[in-house]
């Protein structure tokens, strides 16, 4: 198992280097550069020249590439050209924020998705099944940023105009914490953070939860038609035990594959959701950096994203072995 | 009925801006006696938190590193102090400098500032003339790459006479005081040893700035917020402690989210409200709209190197064919005044007598006919010598400008000119319009003017290859005027030249000037004393106050 993990990680090294090289070339081939932020008739072109010089952007491209690669391999991500501070400290600020948001969404997706999928499979073709199928497809078709805006308009705006609506269900529209966060006690802070997480994690996760429910439903239906389920029922086990103990583990197998696929998807969806909810995460950082041609930040964030995807896929593969004893990695 | 109120204010503003009574203009930006009617005595105004959000993320408090509009306002009005300020009529008044005097020195000028001696950096070190000298030296040092270094182009050197006296030697030029309204001196005892080329990335900017202004730095959560708190020790001579306990600047990218936060009380001042949200904010009990004149204008640049735009006659025909008032009404919700040129109404040299060109498609058709552009094949599009009157109009990703393009397209189709439109990513558009090939026909953009206007980078014949010489426009008389006015320190002497300049620009139409900006901002009704004007949205932040009963409680 360890040998397998090491081999997989080693295989990822050339892949990541290839990705970084491609991104480097594409970013520098795109028109403009970071000084364009300051392009303005009241600013002398010579100043921008000097800025390029200070940043080493006046060097030939291959020299810039070698220099960047060298400092990257020694663990130095460089300094952001737009934010004027070390890229490492930007990543340290932003990665946890994105992980909190996508982690909570992921949890939501799988818990809600799996639960609904099971209910639908057990009550196949009932009114409940049809209603859930309809709403799953309805939600699945909604883009996350639009859903985010709608959530804000309803649960962070309209409900403030309804007097009897409980305060707990009036959600904040943006940010990770309230303005007076520092003045709250420990539980106050915890509650405040949870309160801020509700709308963005729903906006980010709900459509994926809908699709997980679809997968879960069909996978569960496949499983409960198997002979061993009939055997379990025949020996008089309660239906609850049959479904949750015997059928569920086998039905989960295809869902685990999806875990690896959903992680990168969550990160890309996070770009829009982070913008709508003013969530200071990685997705927004990378998009802003691309528009500003903030090369060091683009390179570092790309690397982090790519590494996360590699790791997420590895985790999914390892989970196979946990769920299915027939699969073994040597 | 706040909507009618807004309209009245608007009309009054239009009337006033046509005169030169700028001082009066600020009187109608709200607050004043009506706000004080709540009967809150002055001592009870201290306290509370105000939350502000504007268009862009603020990345650095280091004045030498970042001078976008919002950063500069936070630097100059919140965290630091400038040597002087502008009063309502834009004349210099003392701030960090308690007085100044000028004497002739050779054929130039010696300008001496006497600084207040009771201003301290927030770490306790006194602010002295050495800090001013240090900042001046870094700005003059090319390696710093201070973006607005051309502000000090006529400044030669500085001498510190004693801890609170500094003398600058400069060439005479108009508005020589203007830089000291814009530049916040930085602390030498912290940044003095940092090499100029590395100042921009020093941790002072984003992690641990130390100011000397009415508010001190508390924390910066990147991508989210800056928190400042009242400086208890801010000297009385500069206004004393501000009313607010805390000021929070939040970055919220999505306008709908900002709108929601304003109306639910999480945001107090929403700077730059898009026209579509104005009516609902005005209708709300929680917030009101405060409009003010801004230093920007929107325009269409014609690439004069193209046959369709090479002659003033055709460019004038294009302007006559475009219904600019319609653009202001439809796209900007009435926020804007028809523009005649590159000098906005706030500026002392603005020619209020000059009538904007009317919307007159019939006259436009006539001019185009005379210029030889006729539709001979009956396809609805004019042509001349086999060249079709057809061009591509582009802009960057900005909803207002995209709407403008659509209206212009329809207007020009009426007079037989075919327009295709294109929305381009900022930097790739930058390459096309600034590059030496000038690979474009026409574009819609906006420009923000300085208090000292110098249009030579836009229109001078001397630098046709300069990046901002988009129009490819050259008029020797304009060159002469622009060269002279930047050297005349006597306004009454240069005023006739400025007027002539505006007339020529109006005649030649290197751009079609669309409108001068009027900005709308959303302000929570809890916050009093908010006065916004040409000097910026935060210029009165020191005097903002919130009544005790309206303040945020912990946990709300």
DSSP string, A84-130: -SBHHHHHHHHHHHHHHHHHHHHHHHHHHHHHHHHHHHHTTTSHHHH
Which of residues 70 through 89 in chain B touch A, CB cutoff 8 A? Answer: none
Kindly state whether B426 is in contact with chain A, defined as any CB-CB distance less than 8 angstroms: yes
Output DSSP code: residue B120. Answer: B
- Closest residue of A to B228, CA-based? A179
User: How many CB pairs below 8 Å do chains A and B form together?
Assistant: 164
Q: How confident is the model at residue B20 (pLDDT cuts 50, 70, 90)?
A: very low
Q: Do A278 and B250 touch (CB under 8 A)?
A: yes
* Percent of all residues in chain B with a pLDDT value above 90, rounded to a whole number: 80
Give pLDDT, residue A318.
84
Mean pLDDT confidence for B403-407? 96
Question: Which range has highest mean pLDDT (A108-117, A155-164, B240-249, B446-455)?
Answer: B240-249
Give pLDDT, residue A171.
93
Closest Cβ–Cβ partner in B66, B450, B554 for A180: B554
Give pLDDT, residue B554.
54
Q: Do B555 and A152 touch (CB under 8 A)?
A: no
Kindly state whether A244 is in contact with chain B, defined as any CB-CB distance less than 8 angstroms: no
* d(C-alpha B554, C-alpha A182), whole Å: 9
Kindly state whether B252 is in contact with chain A, defined as any CB-CB distance less than 8 angstroms: yes
Give pLDDT, residue A252.
87
Give pLDDT, residue B34.
41
pLDDT tens track for B358-374: 999 999 999 999 999 99
| Helices and strands of chain B, counted as H and E runs | 17, 21
Output DSSP code: residue B196. Answer: G
Q: Do A153 and B256 touch (CB under 8 A)?
A: yes
* d(C-alpha B186, C-alpha B344), whole Å: 31
Residue with tokens 């600034």: B434
pLDDT tops 80 at residue B57: yes
* d(C-alpha A168, C-alpha A149), whole Å: 20
- Across chain B, mean pLDDT equals 90
Closest Cβ–Cβ partner in A32, A41, A280 for B431: A32
In this structure, the number of other CB atoms found within 10 A of the CB of residue B399 comes to 13
Q: Which long-range contacts (CB under 8 A, 24 or more apart) does B372-375 make?
A: B373/B308, B373/B314, B373/B416, B375/B416
* d(C-alpha B337, C-alpha B275), whole Å: 15
Q: At what angle do helices A186-224 and A87-122 cross, to 10 degrees?
A: 40
Instruction: Judge contact between B529 and B513, C-beta under 8 A.
Output: no
* d(C-alpha A128, C-alpha A124), whole Å: 9
Kindly state whether B340 is in contact with chain A, defined as any CB-CB distance less than 8 angstroms: no
Q: How confident is the model at residue B555 (pLDDT cuts 50, 70, 90)?
A: very low
Residue with tokens 């520098």: A28
Give the pairing type, strands B108-115 and B155-162: unpaired
Mean pLDDT confidence for B137-150? 93
Output DSSP code: residue B219. Answer: E
Q: Do A90 and B222 touch (CB under 8 A)?
A: yes
* d(C-alpha B138, C-alpha B64), whole Å: 8
Structure tokens at A222: 């496949």
* d(C-alpha B78, C-alpha B81), whole Å: 8
Closest Cβ–Cβ partner in B197, B263, B552 for A157: B263
Kindly state whether A173 is in contact with chain B, defined as any CB-CB distance less than 8 angstroms: yes
Is pTM beyond 0.95? Reply is no
Which of residues 7 through 66 in chain A touch B, CB cutoff 8 A? Answer: 30-33, 36-48, 50-51, 54
The DSSP result for B131-169, as a single string, is HHHHHHHHHHSGGG--TTGGGGTTEEEEEEEETTEEEEE
pLDDT, tens digit only, all 330 positions of chain A: 788 889 989 999 999 999 999 999 999 998 888 988 788 888 888 899 999 999 999 999 999 999 999 999 998 999 999 888 899 999 998 988 988 998 899 888 889 999 999 999 988 899 999 999 999 888 888 888 889 999 999 999 999 888 898 888 899 999 999 888 888 889 999 999 999 999 999 999 888 889 899 999 999 999 988 999 899 889 988 988 888 888 988 888 888 778 777 777 777 668 889 999 999 998 889 888 998 999 999 999 999 888 888 888 888 888 877 777 787 776
Instruction: Judge contact between B434 and B440, C-beta under 8 A.
Output: no
Interface test with B, best of A85, A90, A288 (most B CBs within 10 A): A85
Give pLDDT, residue B489.
82
Mean pLDDT confidence for B24-46? 57
pLDDT tops 80 at residue B22: no
Q: Which long-range contacts (CB under 8 A, 24 or more apart) does B454-462 make?
A: B454/A42, B454/B482, B454/B486, B455/B342, B455/B482, B456/B482, B456/B483, B456/B486, B457/A41, B457/A42, B458/A41, B458/B342, B458/B510, B459/B505, B459/B510
pLDDT tops 70 at residue B254: yes
Closest CA–CA distance from residue B413 to any residue of chain A (Å):
32
Kindly state whether A179 is in contact with chain B, defined as any CB-CB distance less than 8 angstroms: yes
* d(C-alpha A213, C-alpha B181), whole Å: 62
Kindly state whether A157 is in contact with chain B, defined as any CB-CB distance less than 8 angstroms: yes
pLDDT tops 60 at residue B116: yes
- Closest residue of B to A284, CA-based? B223
pLDDT tens track for B532-549: 999 999 999 999 999 999
Structure tokens at B68: 């976008």
Q: Which of A141-150, B190-199, B205-214, B360-369 has the lowest mean pLDDT?
A: A141-150
Closest CA to B194 of B143, B252, B255, B125: B143
Which of residues 435 through 494 in chain B touch A, CB cutoff 8 A? Answer: 447-448, 450, 454, 457-458, 466-468
Give pLDDT, residue B68.
82
């Amino acid at each position: 198992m360890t040998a397998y993990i090491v081999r997989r990680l080693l295989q990822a090294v050339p892949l990541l280097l290839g990705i970084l090289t491609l991104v480097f070339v594409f970013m520098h081939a795109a028109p403009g550069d970071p000084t364009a932020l300051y392009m303005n008739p009241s600013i002398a072109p010579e100043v921008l020249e000097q800025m390029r010089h200070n940043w080493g952007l006046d060097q030939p491209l291959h020299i810039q590439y070698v220099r960047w690669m060298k400092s990257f391999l020694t663990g130095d991500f460089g300094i952001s050209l737009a934010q004027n501070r070390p890229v490492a400290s930007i990543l340290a600020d932003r990665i946890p924020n994105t992980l909190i948001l996508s982690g909570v969404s992921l949890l939501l997706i799988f818990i809600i998705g799996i639960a609904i999928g099971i209910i639908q499979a057990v009550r196949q073709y009932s009114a409940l099944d049809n209603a859930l199928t309809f709403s799953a497809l309805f939600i699945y078709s909604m883009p996350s940023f639009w859903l985010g805006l709608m959530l804000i308009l309803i649960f962070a705006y309209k409900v403030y105009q309804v007097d009897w609506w409980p305060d707990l269900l009036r959600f904040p529209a943006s940010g990770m914490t309230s303005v007076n966060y520092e003045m709250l006690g420990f539980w106050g802070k915890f509650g405040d953070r949870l309160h801020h997480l509700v709308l963005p994690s729903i906006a980010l996760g709900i459509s994926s939860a809908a699709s997980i429910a679809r997968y879960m439903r069909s996978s569960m239906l496949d499983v409960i038609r198997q002979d061993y389920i009939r055997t379990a029922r025949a020996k008089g086990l309660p239906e609850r035990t049959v479904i949750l103990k015997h059928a569920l583990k086998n039905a989960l197998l295809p869902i685990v594959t999806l875990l690896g696929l959903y992680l990168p998807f969550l990160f890309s969806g996070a770009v829009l959701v982070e913008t709508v909810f003013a969530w200071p995460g990685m997705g927004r950082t990378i998009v802003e950096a691309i528009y500003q041609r903030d090369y060091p930040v683009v390179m570092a964030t790309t690397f982090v994203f790519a590494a996360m995807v590699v790791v997420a896929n590895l985790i999914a593969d390892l989970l196979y072995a946990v769920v299915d004893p027939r699969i073994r990695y040597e | 009925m706040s909507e009618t109120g807004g309209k009245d204010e608007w009309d009054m503003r239009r009337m006033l801006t046509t005169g030169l009574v700028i001082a009066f203009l600020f009187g109608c930006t709200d607050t004043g006696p009506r706000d004080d009617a709540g009967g809150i005595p002055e001592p009870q105004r201290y306290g509370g938190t105000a939350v502000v959000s504007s268009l862009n993320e603020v990345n650095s408090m280091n004045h030498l590193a970042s001078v976008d509009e919002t950063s500069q306002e936070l630097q100059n009005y919140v965290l630091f102090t400038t040597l002087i300020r502008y009063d309502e009529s834009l004349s210099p008044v003392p701030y960090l400098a308690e007085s100044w005097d000028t004497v002739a020195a050779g054929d130039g000028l010696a300008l001496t500032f006497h600084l207040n001696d009771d201003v301290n950096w927030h770490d306790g070190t006194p602010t002295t003339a050495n800090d001013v000298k240090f900042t001046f030296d870094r700005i003059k040092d090319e390696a710093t790459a201070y973006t607005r270094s051309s502000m000090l182009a006529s400044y030669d050197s500085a001498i510190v006479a004693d801890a609170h006296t500094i003398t600058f030697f400069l060439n005479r030029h108009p508005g020589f005081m203007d830089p000291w309204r814009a530049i916040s001196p930085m602390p030498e005892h912290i940044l003095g040893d940092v090499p100029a080329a590395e100042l921009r990335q020093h941790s002072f900017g984003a992690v641990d700035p130390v100011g000397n202004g009415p508010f001190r730095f508390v924390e910066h959560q990147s991508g989210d917020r800056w928190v400042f708190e009242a400086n208890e020790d801010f000297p009385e001579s500069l206004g004393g402690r501000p009313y607010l306990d805390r000021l929070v600047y939040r970055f919220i990218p999505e306008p709908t989210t900002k709108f929601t936060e304003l109306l639910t009380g999480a945001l107090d001042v929403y700077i730059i409200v898009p026209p579509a949200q104005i009516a609902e904010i005005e209708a709300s009990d929680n917030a009101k709209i405060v409009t003010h004149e801004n230093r920007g204008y929107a325009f269409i640049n014609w690439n004069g190197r193209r046959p369709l735009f090479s002659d003033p006659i055709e460019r004038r025909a294009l302007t006559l064919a475009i219904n600019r008032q319609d653009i202001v009404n439809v796209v900007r919700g009435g926020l804007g005044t028809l523009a005649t040129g590159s000098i906005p109404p706030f500026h002392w040299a603005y020619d209020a007598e000059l009538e904007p060109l009317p919307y007159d498609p019939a006259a436009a058709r006539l001019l185009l006919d005379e210029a030889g552009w006729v539709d001979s094949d009956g396809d609805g599009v004019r042509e001349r010598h086999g060249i079709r009157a057809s061009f591509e109009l582009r802009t960057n990703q900005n909803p207002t400008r995209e709407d403008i393009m659509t209206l212009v397209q329809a207007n020009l189709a009426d007079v037989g000119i075919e327009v295709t439109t294109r929305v381009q990513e900022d930097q790739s558009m930058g390459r096309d319009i600034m590059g030496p090939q000038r690979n474009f026909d026409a574009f819609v953009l906006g420009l923000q003017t300085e208090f000292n206007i110098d249009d030579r980078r836009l229109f001078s014949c001397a630098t046709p290859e300069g990046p901002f010489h988009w129009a490819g426009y050259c008029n020797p008389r304009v060159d002469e005027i622009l060269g002279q006015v930047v050297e005349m320190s006597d306004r009454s002497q240069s005023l006739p030249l400025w007027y002539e300049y505006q007339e020529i620009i109006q005649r030649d139409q290197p751009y079609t000037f669309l409108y001068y900006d009027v900005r709308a901002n959303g302000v929570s009704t809890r916050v009093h004393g908010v006065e916004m004007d040409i000097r910026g949205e935060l210029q009165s932040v020191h005097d903002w106050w919130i009544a005790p009963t309206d303040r945020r409680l912990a946990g709300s």
